[in-house]
Structure 1
Amino acid sequence: MEKIEVNTYLLNKPFTTVSQPFGEGVDVYKVKDKMFATLARGKMGKADSNYWWMNLKCDPDEAAILRDIFDAVIPGYHMNKRLWNTIILDGSIPQGEIERMIDNSFLLVVGKMTKAAQKAILQR
């Protein structure tokens, strides 16, 4: 997936906004003010990579499995490495798998919200 496709997919999630609280070059995606993804060129904003890097929240067991399966999935860069993965968008991971990882990150964050917030988000 390319940056534009990823950005569109992320922003199509209900109640999602994007901002740059960490500075220019690092997009932070939030659902109801709770972060579920980041997207930046290279090492989260450093211009030493030709690829976009995306951080996504992940179940700890699944995070480890994904790192074993895909070379382009590494422990979350500048994140809690147990709960976050960095996905290097180098074209080696199928689009459907990237979308599934995004969906899981979104649902993990929504799952920690109040029942009322969950209902409002998931019914949309």
Structure 2
Amino acid sequence: MKNDTIKAYCLSKKGAMEDYPFGPAPLVVKIGGKMFALITLSEKQEATDISLKCDPVIAENLREQHEEVVPGYHLNKKHWNSISLQGSLSHEDIISMIDHSYELVLNSLTKKQQELILTL
């Protein structure tokens, strides 16, 4: 997966919104006001790494399987992974991790919020 498409893919998710709560960087992608992706961008606006929410058991497994996946940088290390996009992870692996993070956050919202987002 080209790193410059990471941002576009995250923002293509239903209800996803771009935010910069920490200043001009990093890019935070939210759904229903809750963060599901935190993307570090290079000067060329290409994603260099991404932090994603993850089920704690799956998070541990991913860290054991891939050296590019580490506990979330400046995040709750039990629930977040930081992933280097400069490594050998496949397109499918990255997409799967983004989708998992999005689904976790979507499912944490109220039923009413979920319905509003899914009908966009």
- Size of the alignment, in residue pairs? 118
Which ranges in structure 2 are unaligned for 5 or more consecutive residues? none
* SS of equivalent to 2:36: strand
Give the aligned residue type for 2:51. Answer: N
Aligned pair 1:61/2:52, yes or no? no
2:36 match: 36
**1:46-104 C-alpha deviation (Å, 9 max, x unpaired):** x9xxx711000000000000001111000000000000000100141001110010001
Contact 2:15–2:118, Cα closer than 8 Å, also in 1: no
Choose the corresponding residue for 1:93, options 82, 89, 93: 89
Aligned pair 1:115/2:111, yes or no? yes
Identical pairs, percent: 39
TM-score (norm 2): 0.89
Partner Cα distance (2:55, 2:41) in 1: 24
When the two chains are superposed, the root-mean-square deviation of aligned CA atoms in Å is 1.9
Give the aligned residue type for 2:89. Answer: I
Deviation (angstroms), 1:123: 4.7
**Which structure 1 residue ranges, 4+ long, deviate > 6 Å from structure 2?**
none
Choose the corresponding residue for 1:79, options 72, 75, 81: 75
Aligned pair 1:25/2:21, yes or no? no
Give the aligned residue type for 1:59. Answer: D
Partner Cα distance (1:68, 1:123) in 2: 38
Deviation (angstroms), 1:41: 4.1
